[in-house]
Structure 1
């Protein structure tokens, strides 16, 4: 990740930890990347429900992922992503802690 891409992703992480409609959409975007099969996909129409700056950050992350030659996951942000799973997918989080 470039510094610009990392900054975009970190802004998205911060938004996803809030409790708004935009936060829900950003969380879905991040969780679809982390594990769409288990955590749900991302509906591209949700881009219409976020501010342009947020959509731009999502686009930056998307381009970053498209540039990778193999699957890439930001493991250094695992704690933050797990907090998003716990907040937005509590039933999945609870079952993973059993």
Structure 2
């Protein structure tokens, strides 16, 4: 993962930890990547309710994912993602 993508992802993770509507929407984006079958998808209309800088970070991550030859998961950030799951998907059991 390139530094620019890593930086964008880390900014998104910080937003996803916030107890706000924007945090929930960013969490949906990250968790859809992590496991959409379990955590649900990401509603593209939610982009209208996000700050432009946050949208740009999502575009950076999404573009990187689209260019990868095989789908990569943010395994290096698993502890943070587990915290996001606990906050936004408390009903989901974590392995």
Return the TM-score normalized by structure 1: 0.94
Shift, 1:96, TM fit: 3.4
Distance (whole Å) between structure 2 residues aligned to residue 96 and residue 70 of structure 1: 25
Match of 2:2 in 1: 2
Match of 2:71 in 1: 71
Q: Runs (4+) of structure 1 moved beyond 3 Å? A: none
Distance (whole Å) between structure 2 residues aligned to residue 51 and residue 71 of structure 1: 27
RMSD (Å) for aligned C-alpha atoms: 0.9
Which ranges in structure 1 are unaligned for 5 or more consecutive residues?
none
Return the TM-score normalized by structure 2: 0.97
Distance (whole Å) between structure 2 residues aligned to residue 96 and residue 20 of structure 1: 23
User: Are positions 1:96 and 2:73 aligned together?
Assistant: no
